[in-house]
Structure 1
Amino acid sequence: MKSLADIAAQLQGYDPQALAVPQVDAFLAQLVQPVTGNETVSIADALGRVTADDVVSPVDVPPHDNSAMDGYAFDGSQLAADAPLQLQVVGTALAGKAWHGSVAQGQAVKIMTGAIMPAGLDTVVPQEFTRPAGDDRVEVPAAVLKRGDNRRLAGEDLKAGRPALARGERLGPAGCGLLASLGVPTVRVVRRLKVAYFSTGDEILSLGEAPREGAVYDSNRYTVRAMLARLGCEVIDLGVVRDEPAQLEQAFRSAASQADAIITSGGVSVGEADFTKAMMRQLGDVAFWKIAMRPGRPMAVGRIAEGDKAAVLFGLPGNPVAVMVTFLAFVRPALLRMMGCRDTAPPPLLRARSLEALRKKPGRTEYQRGIVDTGPDGSLQVRTTGNQGSGVLSSMVQANGLIVLHHQQGNIAVGDPVDVMMFEGIL
């Protein structure tokens, strides 16, 4: 396990008081490691879980050549490029039941989608392409298909003995369905990542507490919990912890003893009470950063130890939007890496035309809340939600993505292309 000093020494130009976003990504990639421990779950409970091993297909999928269409199966060698083909229909092949008759030249079998291809037949003409040609006869017009059309080959999806899913695959609906198509009822997955979370600050109210002057209800606790739940983490909710050393020490020790990662919000900004930062320093190896980004400049990262256990720490800012942006930009990819995922890259950025002029100074990355839709010409366009204050949580509800203005970018004129990170699937 590398110390924070060892990691920092490997990063060119590392300055904790002025970190660019790519440097944060590079640092976290070395800080976190996949957890150990696997379990077996049913396919019905596998959504969002990460495969612990390669899944090898025990069967061919599909298990036999079958028809991709409702139509007529025949020997495609009879097709001629410039003449229609007449065929006598000698039977019907239904899905789930093989047809065992024999088919000669000039004959065909009516076949349903998914039905096994009768022996010696390799082509299916869709029913709508044919014309009646008398009793039990159909005509295939010239040049409407070629030999082999509309036939699914045995094993064309998956071959028996070959990997169907690689280790580190985070299972979505398609992956769960693919496993079911193999006849596999269970799958070995990485155990759930345990993440402890608490908010800090004397001004924070828990739900159910009476309002008081200068205090705000704790929204961060619920946005973080929801983002962790979306990732499939096991959430350990430690509530609101006051700016008091004994309470903070107890919370950090409890979190480190139970969890793989700890997320806090508040207490890491310059000028805030030093109790939270002091306790982080006392209990672990922690770096305090100023990131060249907006929103979300202050952040703490490191490890908190308790006995022989150590949990990765992500100390996030206190403002609600800054919490969500730093989670999406940095914490989410790091947690995916800890979960054992092969693909830990941030969501791909799309290009959209800005409907507004945006003010931006080079030298920092900005994440502005945006509303992306399709313009009259079919291309993507984006406008901001208005007020971009880091405390305006309602703007995250209105937005369907973030406008990502990169480190070296300057002002954006109306019509300029910008990158957008869409929320669908991650929020």
Structure 2
Amino acid sequence: MSESHTEPDTDVEADTDELARRAERAALRLANADEATRNEALRSIADAIRDRESEILDANAVDVEEAEQLLADGEYTQALVDRLKLDETKIEEIASMVESVAEQDDPLGETLAARELDEGLELYRVSVPIGVVATVFESRPDALVQIAALALKSGNAVVLKGGSEAAESNRVLYEAIVDATADLPDGWAALIEAHEAVDRLLELDDRVDLVMPRGSSAFVSYVQANTQIPVLGHTEGICHVYVDADADLEMAADVAFDAKVQYPAVCNAVETLLVHESVAEAFLPDLVARYEAAGVEVRGDERTREVVDVDPATDDDWDTEYGDLELSIKIVDDAYEAVEHVNDHGSKHTESILTEDSETAKTFMTGVDAASVFHNASTRFADGYRYGLGAEVGISTGKVHARGPVGLEGLTTYKYYLEGDGHLVATYSGEDAVPFTHREPDAEWGLGGE
């Protein structure tokens, strides 16, 4: 979305204002819906997705056909087309994901802290929904369902904007969600499609409480520069695997292969392989042959190309999220050089070290600045579902307020509730002030002594 000096579309502005007003009203009501109501609605969504499988797949076929034509024209990448595609197995995975969200513990109403200020005067910090969350996401249609499901479970209203590549798929999935939740507050979920609607939404900081953009760093920066709403960004995944001198090389080869080949189109796939110079000659030839047999286009720095015959890596390669069967390899002197490379070129998403030396693993894991850092495991594990979060609205590469895969907890905030019995501040001030007890009781908040 570039800057424009044309007159705003007043119809789009009015429509966006109205859906934001409806979302705000719905959020206040949804926050008071009990867990059983929210879970029942989620199960209804799962059933609706299964029931409308044929309709969803037909719509997706239209999106995929258009995307493949643009791929042939050189405008789209194969990775984008792969992310876009749905099939019967994927539909079942989406429905099961919604059910897994319903099975998560209720994130609302939890007493996070309790403190007695004085006898009969008790303070509680309790988890509550954020309110109205807006999200702009890429071409994966399943992202729409994940985000809507997590918003519903956490009691938030949600405004959804998917990529135009998945427009037909998103419309049918959205209709299935709305039809299945007709008993919920009207407007709890809204779908927008025009870029102008996104621009207008970013101006509504009095109604929208959080924006979650998923996309390139440039796009996330655009959102941050054009709104006063708090932004929780999901940017590129420039992920690394470092094979240390003390790695189990057989295991390391399997992990490095999985991290690239198992599903290269996603943000937690590895893009750069770092290899300790002492194991490069023993490790790289067989692994590179394995990569190339799987269709991976391998590039390497000068030291790598002394060991294996691959294309040269450029400076740009170290800063590129390929999202495809492409990989760059760099030979390093030690774990410290690996950490330095990751921190210079990584996107703070997910990094992994393969080593049997626990001290080296600790050096790498504490030294790398990333939301997730693994030891002897594939970067592909960086996922809300695999983390046991049910699903994720995205993977936050920032540090505030949530980091890594953002599930239900990342969609909540808290309120302070104070329970008293006519207590006055005057009692605790002046010469005869009564001291606060500031005792921390083992208590849960609940009106009426619940």
**TM-score with structure 1 setting the length:** 0.26
**TM-score with structure 2 setting the length:** 0.25
Structure with bigger helix share is 2
Q: Bigger radius of gyration, 1 or 2?
A: 1
Structure with bigger strand share is 1
